[in-house]
Homo-oligomer: A and B are copies of this chain.
Amino acid sequence: MTARTTRSHRTLALVAMLVAAACGGRNGGSSGGGAGSDVLALMNARGLSEQDVTAALKTYTPTGKHDEYYTFASGGHGGNVIVIGVPSMRILKYIGVFTPEPWQGFGYGDDSNAIVAQGFRGGKEITWADTHHPALSETGGEYDGRYLFINDKCNPRVAVIDLHDFVTKQIVGSELIASEHGATFVTPDTDYVIETSQYPAPLGGAYAPIEEYDSKYRGAMIFWRFDKQKGRIVPAESFAIELPPYMQDLADCGKKGSDGWVFCNSINTERAYGGILEGKPPLESGATQNDMDYLHCINWRAAEAVAKAGKTETIAGMRVIRLQTALDENLLAFVPEPKSPHGVDVTPNGKFIVVSGKLDTHVSVYSFEKIMDAIKSGRFESKDPYGIPVIGMKDALHTQVQLGLGPLHTQFDAKECVAYTSLYVDSMVAKWNFCEGKLLDKLAIHYNIGHLMTMEGDTTKPKGKYLVALNKLSIDRFNPVGPLHPQNHQLIDISNDKMQLLYDMPLPLGEPHNAQMVKADKIKPIEVYKPIGLNPYTNEVDPHATTTGKERIERTAEGVHVYMTSVRSHFSPDIVRVKEGDRVFLHVTNVEQAKDATHGLAIGGQNINVSLEPGKHVNIEFVADKAGVFPFYCTEFCSALHLEMAGYLLVEPK
């Protein structure tokens, strides 16, 4: 049957359904399989409009069909990362990052504990994070689908997730800064992952009275060096640049012609710090007095050379280019930006920098070429209080466009010059042309959009088609679930001139701030760990890996080593006899190689649950500190005899 006749058959069947419905028939044109309903009857029964019907058909993804795009969203103060399929808007996975998560066995007793512990700060167990801005690794300014980075605003840290198994492999942090927000952003070949402080503090964690804010408090931008081959950040090759005590905010790296630069905005150039009970204005008003703040233009390639040349000072273990050095080396210039800006986004062609001031109704489009001209010719209109040269607004601006109230972030279309900007206060998305400075369309969202995201929309090659509005409030959109509401991600079709709202997606856990969307075929995860016995954190067969028939229990000076395998439907050994006070080392290899043949291992009386995906090896260590009988068992429903996949840890009293 040709495509044409197939279509004709479909048409006839559907028209039959419709006509039957129009004539009042309820089951006319039954489409088989027990459906027995028809389009119009369903529209009436469920109150669907024609618009709803097209939206349903643009998003519905039948069993076995895959989504076109992956979205990676930060989990906000959930401390995790959320993986979402587009256009179905189904959540595919929560990846445990800073916050331990027992289903995936992350931080509940195996080698992943060491990853969580990398994130401890100042000797204190920090087991949550406020993740904000995920960044996919890039090659040549395009997503390469290999790694994902994510930050923690509260206790400044950056994590590396390997997309070959969707597992967090590394957490780094520096006590140079006390908080951050402008992270993570990558350079176009992922040489560096950028993390910038938000609330100024004395560098390195020292105490200074707040009254010494201007002189002792500072910001900093950290450049974490990433080794793409090893898939790890190299702290020793990383460096930072000291910045004035403004609240530096988001950043974006130059692309193509502007590669080598990074643009970062700032708020609170007023250097307010609150003090309500002490007779001062709250920060929200103190920090919003100036009409202009400063867009920071930083030559990171030159800074890298300066750091390599050793013109740094080490603070809290981080090599820091002091502000005076940055000035001496011409690493930094400012451009005025209106007013209390939040978003800064470089256009795909690398020629323009779009800034939105959340208390301004315009977006400001700056020209990279003009900024370079001004810097090269030394044409500055002033200096900030710290001696940083400030380029005149008119010498940098390409155009300004009035979009509406509370503009925040901008993403780009596959179509030349087309951009989308979120309007927080208006609860709208604005579509506009950044070349000609022209508003094209506006669409209401529900409610109060923060970031927005188009497909690969912050790379050199945006893909168009979909936009997701990351709305902070849902209010009445979903069935009520108590005083704490989900957020609402709304999927929008941007393939036509007018935007069309397609889907409302509640966020059930976490508060995503930003997200990136990548074409599905760029993500190529492994199905099982190979060879059997692989340790996901070393990517090598673990020295304690066990094979079927080699299971054993060995008592050594340090404790009891148990070499265990798991296979449907038993652990071997299934009886482990130890003495009260013994240190127990469980080395467990899941010898399965079938896709999705995952086991879990939970041990009663201990705070332990690990996930054993096919081929994976884990090492567990604990002290059998209490005498008794402790069942252990498989926590993944792995087979018909899953409940029987159990054993006993027998702890004999001393």
Contact = CB atoms under 8 A, between A and B. Distances in A.
A359 B92 CA distance: 32
A450 B637 contact: yes
A66 B479 contact: yes
Contacts of A48: 57, 60, 62
12 contacts: A34-B499, A48-B57, A61-B504, A154-B603, A154-B635, A206-B628, A207-B627, A207-B628, A276-B551, A277-B572, A358-B640, A483-B527
Interface string A15-28: 10111011000000
B573 A276 contact: yes
Nearest to A286: B644
B165 A483 contact: yes
B483 A43 contact: no
B476 A64 contact: yes
A154 B628 contact: no
Interface residues on A, range: 35 or more
Nearest to A120: B607
A643 B528 CA distance: 42
A108 B128 contact: yes
A92 B8 contact: no
Assembly stoichiometry (copies): 2
Interface string A38-57: 11101110111111111111
Contacts of A651: 207
A466 interface: no
A547 to B, nearest CB: 15
Given A569-B284, A573-B277, A31 B50 contact: yes
A415 interface: no
A490 interface: yes
A381 to B, nearest CB: 27
Interface string A273-311: 111111000111001100000000000000000000000
Contacts of A497: 34
Contacts of A268: 644
A164 B513 CA distance: 28
A526 interface: yes
Interface stretch (A229-237, A382-390, A394-402, A608-616): A608-616
